[in-house]
């Protein structure tokens, strides 16, 4: 059995993360966000190519965290995100069912690994 306990606060951890942020590490976040867009666009099933070309990202940060959100703006005439239909599947007007396909997870997984590796390298070198 493994038992872990902790006393105190995460003050020093937060201080280190803020230090890394001040060192400009967040500049690399833009590169990771672009990598995500490229990976998602390459993996998106193509009919007209509009959905694959509709990926973008937003980066939000505050003093405690940094978030990348990947967004696809292509929607049907009724406002449904096409990516949701591709991912989960959907019915057609003729009554057929189109099986969904998880193309997002395999596409973005290497980007997450690169982000984790980059953060670990930065923390190790701090």
The full 3-state SS of the chain, as one line of letters, equals CCCCCCCCCCHHHHHHHHHHHHCCCHHHHHHHHHHHHHHHHHHCCCCCCCCHHHEEEEEEECCCCEEEEEEECCECCCCCEHHHHHHHEEECCCCCEEECCCCHHHHHHHHHHHHHHHHHHHHHHC
What are the residue boundaries of the structural domains of the chain, listed by start? 26-125
For residue 17, pLDDT beyond 90 = no
Q: What is the pLDDT of residue 125?
A: 73
The predicted model scores a pTM of 0.76
Q: How far apart are CA 110 and CA 105, in angstroms?
A: 9
Query: Which one is predicted more confidently, 61 or 18?
Result: 61
Q: What is the pLDDT of residues 55-108, one digit of tens each?
A: 999 998 877 677 899 999 999 999 999 999 999 999 989 999 999 999 999 999
């Amino acid at each position: 059995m493994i038992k872990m306990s902790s006393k105190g606060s995460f003050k020093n951890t937060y201080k280190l993360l803020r230090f890394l942020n001040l060192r400009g590490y967040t500049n690399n976040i833009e590169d990771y966000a672009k990598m995500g867009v490229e990976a998602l666009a390459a993996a998106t099933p193509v009919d007209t190519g509009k959905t694959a070309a509709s990926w973008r990202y937003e980066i939000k940060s505050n003093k405690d965290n940094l978030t990348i959100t990947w967004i696809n703006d292509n929607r049907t005439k009724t406002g449904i995100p096409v990516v949701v239909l591709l991912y989960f599947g959907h019915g057609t007007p003729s009554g057929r069912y189109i099986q969904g396909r998880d193309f997002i997870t395999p596409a973005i997984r290497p980007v997450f690994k690169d982000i984790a590796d980059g953060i670990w390298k930065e923390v190790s070198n701090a």
